[in-house]
Structure 1
Amino acid sequence: MKTSHSAFFITILLISSFSLPTHGLILNGLRIGSIKINGVLYCSFDGNLHGNSPPLSGAVVELVCAGARTDLGQVVTNPAGVFVILVKLLDTVLFDPSICFARLNLPIATCAVIPPDGALTASLILANIVQTVLGNIANFTVTPFVNSVL
């Protein structure tokens, strides 16, 4: 009798491990498996491209969600000022594009033009959703950065 209970329990565990999660981010009717956020920062008063502003290299950009008061990711800009934040499947439950944003805390030692306090923040815009066999990927871009007070 013990063997049949154990086999039943193992079968239930296997079935539940292959089922899709009931919670998570759904965009345009599609369950999202991961999120990718792209942006570029420049050494200018607001972090955006103005004239021939040089790229802002080595700056730490965070993905912050205000309602959950959660930092979902942190990356460093490359020499071209580009950043890409990747959000894993488990963290998509905490992600809400209406309350999440990209943030760069000030000051930035490598750019004297940027104000010495506060932060630069940018909202997120859904660019597209790519459907793959490994899950759907939501690609976001950022709006122009603005100066914010922390």
Structure 2
Amino acid sequence: MMNTKSALLFSMVFMASLSSLSHALVLNGLLINAVQVTGVLRCSLNGNQYAPPLIGITVHLVCDGSSTDLAQVVTDQYGSFNIMLRLLNIANFDLQRCYIRVNLPVASCSVFPSAGYCTGSLGLLRVIQSTLGNVACLALSGPIRINL
């Protein structure tokens, strides 16, 4: 028969193991340790791949409509961005509720409104193994939405 201290220790370890898994991102049965988000921003409302790139624009990774960024980067000379985020201390990272946000105005692009922000959804490209563990590679997918 288990004594009280052993039972308490067992239940604490069991609960801790369940809580860490319940807050993890699991894709196709793989525990994801990090996400990489890539994309290219262009001065276009309809996704024209020949539109000029948006250079030096801050890109925010946001989840659940939060005002707190999980990460932010600045686009390069090609309008490209690459965010690498370890999920170690992030509870409840949900791919369906996370998106890219760019604050307006964008001085170098007159097709966007002068106030508000743009959002873009993310899509899963693949899962790779690296020194960080399993990395979910995500990309900007679908149309950009304007929020005034």
Q: 2:140 is matched with which residue?
A: 142
Give the one of 98, 101, 118 matched to 2:99: 101
TM-score, normalisation: structure 2 = 0.76
Q: Residue 142 of structure 2 aligns to a residue in which SS?
A: coil
Unaligned runs of 5+ in 2: 1-16
What's the RMSD between the two structures over aligned residues? 2.2
| Helix, strand or coil at the partner of 2:88 | helix
Q: 1:90 & 1:48 partners in 2: Cα distance?
A: 34
Question: Given residue 33 of structure 2, which amino acid in structure 1 is its aligned partner?
Answer: G
**Unmatched 5+ residue regions in structure 1?**
1-18
Relative to structure 1, is the Cα distance of residues 63 and 36 closer, same or farther in structure 2, using a 3 angstrom cutoff?
same
Task: Output the amino acid matched with 2:120.
Answer: A
Amino acid at match of 1:97: L
What is the identity, as a one-letter code, of the residue corresponding to 2:52? P
Percent identical among aligned pairs is 43
C-alpha distance in 2, partners of 1:100/1:73?
11
The normalised TM-score by structure 1 is: 0.75
Tell me the SS of whatever aligns to 1:71: coil
CA contact (8 A) 1:65 1:101 kept: yes
Structure 1 segments (4+ residues) deviating >6 Å: none
